[in-house]
Structure 1
Amino acid sequence: MAENEIPVSPLKLKNHEFILAIFPETLPNAFPAVCTKSGDPETGGWAARKVTKEKEPQLINSYNNYLNCSSFFQSEENNFFNVRKEHFAAHHFFMLDDFGTKIPFERLGNFEPSWVLETSPKNYQIGIILTDPVTDSLEADRLLKALIDEGLCDPGSSGIARWARLPVGINGKTKYIDESGKPFLCRLIKWNPDKRYTPKELIDQFNLKPIESTHSSVSEKFSQPDRSSDILIPKSDENPVITTLKIRGLYKESLGSGKHDVTCPWVNEHTGALDTGAAYFAPSEEYPVGGFCCQHSHRDKYRIRQLLDFLDIQFNDSPQHKPLIRVIDGELDNVIDAAEKVLAENEMHYQSGGLIVSIAIDSTTGDPTICPTSVQALTRKLSASVTWQKYDGRSKKHISCDPPQRHIAILYNSQIFRHLPVLKGVVRQPYFRESDGELVTHPGYDSTSNLFGVFDPSKFDLPEPTIEAARSSLSMLEDLLMEFHFVSEADKSAALSAIFTAVVRSTLQYAPGFHVKAPVSGSGKTYLCELIGAFAGPGGNAKVSYPTTSEEATKTILSLLLTNPAVIEFDDMSTDWLPHGTIKRMLTAEQITDRILGVSKTATVSTRTLFLGSGNNVGPIRDLLRRVLTINVNPRCTTPATIAYKELPVDKVRKCREKYVSAVLMIISAWRKAGMPRSNIESIATFGGAWADYCRHPLIWLGHPDPATNLIKQLKQDPDSDLLKELMAEWNTVFSSRPITVRKVVEYTRNNGQNLLEAIRELPVLDRGEINPSKLGWFLKKNANRIIGNYEFQESSADGRKAWSLIFVSPTPSQTDK
């Protein structure tokens, strides 16, 4: 350690780690700002330095080190970086000062701050990270003023470009120098970067009073001038051509589909001055500025241009009835903001996982999908829906132009959007809203759940949910399964649970996958998967081969989930469900974040898709045993491929999907109305909440065995557990509890450890038939401290190397009872 450095804070967190946790993302070309000052920080200026993810800022531990609450744009003209009003990008966190000395901690109540930093003896700074950075400086300034007025911060601490102390550094103020001449060392006491808050949550938590804008010198110093009214001119409520026709008394009525009956301005030229046969056509993709047609003899003489001239409307004066965006130098952020507003107001584009997306509906099946837009498609859309202008120095007026590629590219790559509504997924039938359990029966965008429904509500029959109606609905669903050869009633119940999951998957944060297993081909595995998938949406299952490598799994699953399909099916699997990392996450995480194949962008995708699989004598293994529920079918005949499903259950559901989906919704609604009776069954980690309520308890309530029976059996009959138990038995015989390295274990098996060798060879640790020491070490590490038969492997050391010991664990009273 250098002489001018001091140890890091008690929580062992580096300044760079601290900064990146607070600023996971910034606007394009915007950066966090730090400042470092030696000695007394009250002397000298405040030279700002930008912080990047790749390079650790040059901060000396024995200096006063600061982080700004906001991020700032780097000058595009000269790459100069400073903390100035014209470079403000966004406000990321609030810092409340002087807790412990001037402000008692009791003022926080039960509020959990993002961090607590001791900056001088018994004096603390409280950090509050915002869920989404506030890009309106005046809004952030008003919220800070409200915090100050509520007595939560020093009144002299106004201004959103405040400098907060970093955890690694000193407080060099003279009054805090101790008797030995050493400054006070900052100490990070609490660190909860996952605690992030919206402005509304802060207002509700502290009962803040709204503060009107005072345009104080502080807020003006760090705010940008509002040029939005100069940049974005919204389209009028009515097409200006129609408005002018009405004013001139020439408008008659709308004829539908953009066609309007009007009086021809040159009616006096008609034979007999007949006021008939003239029409105005509103702008369309085929006719961008509209059209005019008169059926009388002068129809070739008077067209849309002549009509606009007559109405004194300039040809380029937005007769297309579109908003207008003016590209003004120095207003890049406001121009981009205006373009995003237009996209949001069109109600055709959304933000999803850091991408701009739209919703497409298959013209054949009617199945909706989420479509990530490309920069080319975004350019075309903004060109078609907006009139763009730039100032021409020669003519001294604004002239039409194409959407600037630089602005469009920045909007496309932003990943943080101010106006586009968040889209979490598309739903293909009425659904239970996750937040309050209400059954949403209207299509379109729901701002509470952030879901977009694509369905015809009139086709779903949802009468009063009674237990009688629930039993009738269940009987109708059971008829669909009548010809399938389930091994047990629990398998049939699991199939019904899969159908329920297909209907309500968009409501559930987590749901297991389902695997249909049979001993031979032709047993109806794929057909059952098609039946289950038919409940999820009008389109067919997205069928793919099960990925053989983790890299392939990431690429396949991410690319599929980008479109939010209703069902992903691993059809006719020839291998077990291998526990690739992405496969595990898609079943127990609400989202997956990774890089898009072939594009230098990352995306966060929803996992609210039903996952199905089928195969002969294959199924989930290892970590997937608790994530995938197996449905066993076995026709027990020599030629199962000749079995015919005379009732055609898949065709029935596809023809009347709404009726069968309504049956599932009826059962769940009736169970909820009955008080949500829950049976005393074993809980399953991750799937013990909403999935159990919607897809497990209602079936048990109506007399079916627990649908999760096979999943619980898989957990209890874990073959990996048996293999580990066998290894422990042989290990105990040879080494007892003494620590031993993996290298010596392998050496022992090469000489005289046949029984131990056979136990190890059953594990996934072989390379070309030989034990791979690295894989064996990884296996032991993965299973460390896992108790099997009152034994566990514990990490230890031997001969100065990492080693392993098999330790006996005394049984607990509950184990003794068993």
Structure 2
Amino acid sequence: MTIKTNIKTSGSWNAGDPDRPQWGFGTRQVAKYEYTDEKNRHLFFICKGTNADGEKVFRTQHINPLGYSERFESNELADILSGMGEAQPVPYRLHELVSSNAHEPVFIVEGEKDVETLRSLDLTATCNPFGALKWKDSFSQWLKDRDVVILPDNDERGEAHAKQVLQSVLPVAKSVRVIRLPGLPLKGDVTDWQEAGNSKAGLLALVAQQVPERPTPIIKIVPGELDRMADEAEDAFINAAVPIYVTGAGLVKVAKEQTQATNGAVVDAARTIPLSEDSLIDFLSRCSEWQKYDLKQKAWKRAHPDRNAAKILLSRDGEWRSPKLRGILTAPTLRPDGSVLLNPGYDQATGLYLASNLDLSSHPQNPSRSDAEAALTLLEGLLNGFPFASPASRSVALSALISPVVRGAIPQMPLHAVRAPTAGTGKSYLIDLASAIVSGHRAPVISAGSGEETDKRLGSALLGNPALLSIDNVNGQLGSDVLCQMVERPLIEIRPLGKSTLIKIESHCSVFATGNNIQLVEDMNRRTVLCSLDANMERPETRSFADSPFDLILKDRAKYVSAALTVVQAYISVGKPNSRRNLASFEDWSALVRSALIWLGKDDPCETMEDNRQNDPSVERLSNLVDAWQKRIGLNRPMTAAELKAEASSSEANTLDDPFYEALRAIAATKTHAIDPQRLGTFLSQNEGKVSNGLKIIKQGKSTKKWSLTKIN
């Protein structure tokens, strides 16, 4: 259709609102969209432009329907007139919508530009005229029995518009899905998403993964039917995909938030909040309609959700049907099958909630060894200023950067500890780099206390489902029952502060520790890989990094997340050659992260475990005891703890340079430096059967405990 440029007036639809930008003199038109009816007959135009102040403005026009003689009579001579004339609003590209394949989805977007973007991908798309929040129920008739996909713009107005369209379309469409495109900038739309390199195939894959929306359910309040109302209430928020999940702490809601990093960048985050009665009622108000019978009007009338039904639902511990939440992530991760979890929100396959819109569009789909080598070089560049005591310590540092990112594929990972002889060497800063990659922030820390105090602090920290946690500045020994559970077991029991009951929590937290000459004792030895730093100077805090690795990460966090994923994905793609699973409790970490580093030519990070053992005072005490025992008493000679004390305290042997006497004193001395047989017996029971220097202590006798030393062949 040829359109002449004889235009009568501006036709700005903001003309009646002086506070809105106006289409006036000096406005430059940038786009013009024609609306037609279902038979492709002209109705009106939507014109978009930029006025003299640089503001976006809009106007409507229509083709003059009058013949030339009628125009002279009515004094409407222009070919194009302002406004819509007698036309009524219809969806954009209506004629294409009604003639499209009924088995293909229809995409609803916020503006005509986005419709044209989707048309260029050979997809059926439409929108309403006049922008967001202007969808009319009359538009929905054209979507009867169609599969509808709503693509909201990434802002509050876009979300509100999507909700308006959803409520209108749900009763008539065959199915409705709302797709929030990953990686969109604030106020971004599908055109931005497509221009960022995303494809039609990627969009259709998101559609296939998304669960269709459901109509708002009606729950009738009837006395004596609390169980039925509670069941229907739970069905309502499960079907509406309300962010309510089951954890060991009970029902929780996920609160998404945006925080500011130290460089001013906005970082996505989320946290869990125990679901209160009021919160549950609020959710039920939003995802269901409650009705109560009005005897006067003899009709069902809308009502508030029943509070008693909410109480019953909250009390059903162990019976909830909501999805189980394993953890909250702030960066894309690997699933156990090797695929990448990219889409924000709850992931059914893993039970993880991804609170991140990081753009990984440039991440390699099938990374090769050369991709992995380049990725590892990038990560190693962050470590150039650290004074590693050994190549194995550098491997532990690389594992610290990689493991939290691929945590979705690793049920358990060992504690990563960083030690140095003096303060200021960079221990905490190294953990901050790992945290910056996985979360965009410095590492959250707790301080170590006594064994029981550390357990309480760890338990309290775990209630918030942190992705990463560091026990900072440990002075001396580190050992804790809860800490052992955290790094070795997916499900742990903790007692929250102020409560007497234990609760079970599924921990997905990557745990770190730092300290000057930190000593890992007893069971923590085999659960820890140790990174040793040594600057060989009196005041290492006076050193500085050539570049600030922390700032480098924050400038392009997605690049470093992609690098961590690439190292492990590439190793998986080549078949995991020489995979090492021989690390009890941490088989998956060993088979993926540890083995990938060795595959790329790095030292084995598990070599540092022997350093842990050598520095464990309990190992040293046992070693000294069995050596002195063999020399003083010999093998296979049963003795009670009291008899061992008597032997060590005999007048011939009771000297400060006697190894056996000193070994018993190190184990069981009281405040008065006397050897306590009860303490000695406890130590022997705890170390029964442990092999040290080819020797082990065994128990003999039933009524009276006797101990002897035996040699291992």
SS at match of 2:403: helix
Residue 456 (1) aligns with residue 333 (2): no
CA contact (8 A) 1:541 1:569 kept: yes
Residue 594 (1) aligns with residue 494 (2): yes
Show structure 2 runs of 5+ residues with no match. Answer: 1-126, 139-156, 165-214, 260-266
1:339 maps to 233
Residue 690 (1) aligns with residue 604 (2): no
Question: Shift in Å at residue 417 of structure 1?
Answer: 3.8
1:701 maps to 599
Q: Which amino acid aligns with 2:451?
A: T
SS at match of 1:684: coil
SS at match of 2:231: helix
TM-score (norm 2): 0.65
481-490 or 592-601, which deviates more: 592-601
2:475 maps to 574
1:625 maps to 525
Residue 355 (1) aligns with residue 253 (2): no
Tell me, in whole angstroms, the C-alpha distance in 1 between the residues paired with 2:429 and 2:667. 35
Alignment of 1:597-746 (within 5 A): 597-598=497-498, 602-678=502-578, 683-687=582-586, 689-715=587-613, 719-733=617-631, 735-736=633-634, 737-746=636-645
Question: Shift in Å at residue 330 of structure 1?
Answer: 3.1
- Given candidates 393, 407, 416, the residue that maps to 1:491 is 393
For the structure 1 residues 420 and 254, does the alpha-carbon distance in structure 2 shift closer, same or farther, using more than 3 Å as the test? farther
- Given candidates 359, 364, 367, the residue that maps to 1:465 is 367
Question: Shift in Å at residue 392 of structure 1?
Answer: 5.7
Tell me, in whole angstroms, the C-alpha distance in 2 between the residues paired with 1:796 and 1:405. 64
CA contact (8 A) 2:249 2:505 kept: no
Q: Which amino acid aligns with 1:346?
A: A
Question: Shift in Å at residue 455 of structure 1?
Answer: 2.6
Tell me, in whole angstroms, the C-alpha distance in 1 between the residues paired with 2:340 and 2:450. 40
SS at match of 1:360: strand
Tell me, in whole angstroms, the C-alpha distance in 2 between the residues paired with 1:497 and 1:283. 40
Q: Which amino acid aligns with 1:782?
A: Q
Q: Which amino acid aligns with 2:706?
A: W
1:324 maps to 218
1:561 maps to 462
Q: Which amino acid aligns with 2:225?
A: E
2:192 maps to none
1:427 maps to 329
Cα deviation per residue 1:227-252 (whole Å; 9 max; x = unaligned)?
Answer: xxxxxxxxxxxxxxxxxxxxxxxxx9
SS at match of 1:388: strand
Tell me, in whole angstroms, the C-alpha distance in 1 between the residues paired with 2:669 and 2:292. 66
Question: Shift in Å at residue 581 of structure 1?
Answer: 1.0
Question: Shift in Å at residue 796 of structure 1?
Answer: 2.3
Q: Which amino acid aligns with 2:387?
A: H
2:699 maps to 795
Q: Which amino acid aligns with 1:481?
A: L
Tell me, in whole angstroms, the C-alpha distance in 1 between the residues paired with 2:500 and 2:661. 47
Tell me, in whole angstroms, the C-alpha distance in 2 between the residues paired with 1:605 and 1:412. 18
Tell me, in whole angstroms, the C-alpha distance in 1 between the residues paired with 2:137 and 2:526. 69
CA contact (8 A) 2:491 2:505 kept: yes
RMSD: 3.2
CA contact (8 A) 1:791 1:806 kept: no
CA contact (8 A) 2:581 2:590 kept: no
SS at match of 2:691: coil
SS at match of 2:400: helix
Residue 781 (1) aligns with residue 685 (2): yes
Cα deviation per residue 1:307-332 (whole Å; 9 max; x = unaligned)?
Answer: xxxxxxxxxxxxxx954322323322
Alignment of 1:71-470 (within 5 A): 253=128, 258-260=133-135, 322-347=216-241, 348-353=243-248, 355-364=250-259, 365-391=267-293, 398=300, 400-434=302-336, 436-456=337-357, 458-463=359-364, 464-470=366-372
For the structure 1 residues 443 and 711, does the alpha-carbon distance in structure 2 shift closer, same or farther, using more than 3 Å as the test? same
Tell me, in whole angstroms, the C-alpha distance in 2 between the residues paired with 1:323 and 1:255. 31
- Given candidates 422, 430, 446, the residue that maps to 1:520 is 422
CA contact (8 A) 2:326 2:507 kept: no
CA contact (8 A) 1:525 1:615 kept: yes
Tell me, in whole angstroms, the C-alpha distance in 2 between the residues paired with 1:391 and 1:709. 72
CA contact (8 A) 2:425 2:540 kept: yes
SS at match of 1:462: coil
Question: Shift in Å at residue 589 of structure 1?
Answer: 0.5
Question: Shift in Å at residue 723 of structure 1?
Answer: 1.8
Tell me, in whole angstroms, the C-alpha distance in 1 between the residues paired with 2:159 and 2:344. 28
Question: Shift in Å at residue 580 of structure 1?
Answer: 1.6
SS at match of 1:686: coil
SS at match of 1:708: helix
Tell me, in whole angstroms, the C-alpha distance in 2 between the residues paired with 1:468 and 1:549. 46
For the structure 1 residues 387 and 261, does the alpha-carbon distance in structure 2 shift closer, same or farther, using more than 3 Å as the test? closer
SS at match of 1:363: strand
Tell me, in whole angstroms, the C-alpha distance in 2 between the residues paired with 1:777 and 1:262. 82
Tell me, in whole angstroms, the C-alpha distance in 1 between the residues paired with 2:412 and 2:158. 48
Question: Shift in Å at residue 748 of structure 1?
Answer: 4.8
Question: Shift in Å at residue 408 of structure 1?
Answer: 1.9
1:157 maps to none
Tell me, in whole angstroms, the C-alpha distance in 1 between the residues paired with 2:502 and 2:308. 20
CA contact (8 A) 1:544 1:571 kept: yes
For the structure 1 residues 283 and 624, does the alpha-carbon distance in structure 2 shift closer, same or farther, using more than 3 Å as the test? closer
For the structure 1 residues 391 and 588, does the alpha-carbon distance in structure 2 shift closer, same or farther, using more than 3 Å as the test? same
For the structure 1 residues 764 and 438, does the alpha-carbon distance in structure 2 shift closer, same or farther, using more than 3 Å as the test? farther
Tell me, in whole angstroms, the C-alpha distance in 2 between the residues paired with 1:675 and 1:339. 47
Residue 585 (1) aligns with residue 489 (2): no
- In the alignment of these two chains, the number of paired residues is 503
Tell me, in whole angstroms, the C-alpha distance in 1 between the residues paired with 2:159 and 2:346. 27
Tell me, in whole angstroms, the C-alpha distance in 2 between the residues paired with 1:538 and 1:416. 35
CA contact (8 A) 1:506 1:609 kept: no
Q: Which amino acid aligns with 2:237?
A: L
Residue 758 (1) aligns with residue 657 (2): no
SS at match of 1:676: coil
1:30 maps to none
